[in-house]
Amino acid sequence: MSTAELQLSSGVLRARVRQVRASSFGVAVITGVLVGAAVADLARGGRLMGVLSAGRAELAAPLLVGLMVGTALCERRWPAEERPLFARGHLQDACYLALHAALVIPLMTLLSVGSALLLESYLPWIELRPAEHLPRALLVVLTIVAMDGANWLAHYADHRLEALWRFHALHHSQEELSVLTSFRAHPLMHTTGFILATVPVVVLMPTLPIAPVLITTYVCVGTLQHANLRWTFGPLGKFIVSPAYHRLHHDPLRQDLNLGVVLVVWDLLSGRARFPSPADPVRTTGLAGRPVPVEQQVRSAGVRLMATQLAEPFKVRGRPVS
Ligand SMILES: [Zn+2]
Ligand SMILES: [Zn+2]
């Protein structure tokens, strides 16, 4: 290769590096540091495989699988939007379900451990040891409510901060919501939520474990909200996020509303709650202008499109490589 060609190729390489978004790279580095710290700590104690399988039992429990099958049957019987079983959106989200099972569940488990290590190492004073004398049931309820508040805050940050929105946009790009859409998320979207949601656990229950069934139940309620159903949950919908309530958040014009993950209270406190009526028309979902490539616009979707969608937060738009 001539000197001129070498200079040209190194110029192209530098331009490509400049095109990788620094903030997205930063999120990836933070995630890598947390996961690395968790793996090192667990491996030292010989607990790595045990903790990973416990995490899998919580996040892929038979209860959750049963809820998904039951919800899918309800979607066929009472759909908010009529569409074929093998609609493109369903097939694409099924790819994300496979990614979730293979990669995201272990990632979530390690993020949880890594976040706790980080907090215990650098902010040990946040542990509220006297709280351990409170009744166990009260402590668990307080911790789960505070974790839900932390998840709300992470979701709010996803919408307010450009660096986080780039990862969250993939979730909002779905134009055919179904119960599977809960798994349509960039793996790096979870980092903020796990760091924030670990705070109440370290503060209130530094030495006590939360029963796995409670975590599974929490995940189940969070999964049901994407179902292609008009369910508002009636009076209970004033407290718990229903599919109709969350669908409003996926309306491209209403994304600043209904940010709740499981509890509605945080939206009420921040003036962002809008309660749907069963008589409301079914809203369209997705992102205006399709900034993230979606399966409804390309000829071949599946794993290849998923790879493109996952790379999207790292791309800089409007500055072509010269
Ligand atoms: Zn959102
Ligand atoms: Zn959603």
Which residues neighbour 208 within 8 Å (Cβ) at sequence distance 6 or greater?
132, 136, 139
205 in any annotated domain: no
Q: Answer whether residue 319 shows pLDDT above 50.
A: no
Å from CA of 172 to ligand 1 middle: 6
In the numeric block, the tokens 């939206």 are attached to 267
Question: What domain range is 92 assigned to?
Answer: 40-118+172-190+211-313
The pLDDT value recorded for residue 318 is 45
51 in any annotated domain: yes
2 in any annotated domain: no
Å from CA of 253 to ligand 1 middle: 12
- Confidence band for 321, pLDDT divided at 50, 70 and 90: very low
3 state SS of 263 = strand
Q: Answer whether residue 94 shows pLDDT above 50.
A: yes
Q: Answer whether residue 9 shows pLDDT above 70.
A: no
H helices within 181-264, ranges in order? Answer: 190-204, 212-224, 243-249
13 in any annotated domain: no
215 in any annotated domain: yes
4 in any annotated domain: no
Å from CA of 179 to ligand 2 middle: 10
- Mean pLDDT across the chain: 88
Which residues neighbour 272 within 8 Å (Cβ) at sequence distance 6 or greater?
256, 257, 258, 259
Average pLDDT over residues 255-268: 97
The pLDDT value recorded for residue 320 is 38
Give the residue among 159, 166, 151, 171 at the shortest CA–CA distance from 27: 166
Give the residue among 316, 322, 305 at the shortest CA–CA distance from 89: 305
The ligand whose atoms approach the alpha carbon of 156 most closely is: 1
Å from CA of 255 to ligand 1 middle: 6
Å from CA of 253 to ligand 2 middle: 14
Å from CA of 9 to ligand 1 middle: 40
The top-scoring range by mean pLDDT among 115-124, 136-145, 220-229 is: 220-229
Between 179 and 17, the more confident residue is 179
- Confidence band for 5, pLDDT divided at 50, 70 and 90: low
Between 213 and 246, the more confident residue is 246
Whether residue 185 contacts residue 171, with contact meaning beta carbons closer than 8 Å, is answered with yes
Q: Answer whether residue 177 shows pLDDT above 50.
A: yes
147 in any annotated domain: no
3 state SS of 173 = coil
Residue 251, CA atoms < 13 Å, CB-side half-sphere:
17
Tally the domains of the chain: 1
Between 94 and 59, the more confident residue is 94
229 in any annotated domain: yes
Average pLDDT over residues 98-111: 93
Which residues neighbour 141 within 8 Å (Cβ) at sequence distance 6 or greater?
none
Per-position DSSP letters for 99-132, written without gaps between them: HIIIIIHHHHHHHHHHHHHHHHHH-GGG--GGGG
What's the pLDDT tens digit per position in 187-212? 999 999 999 988 888 888 776 666 77
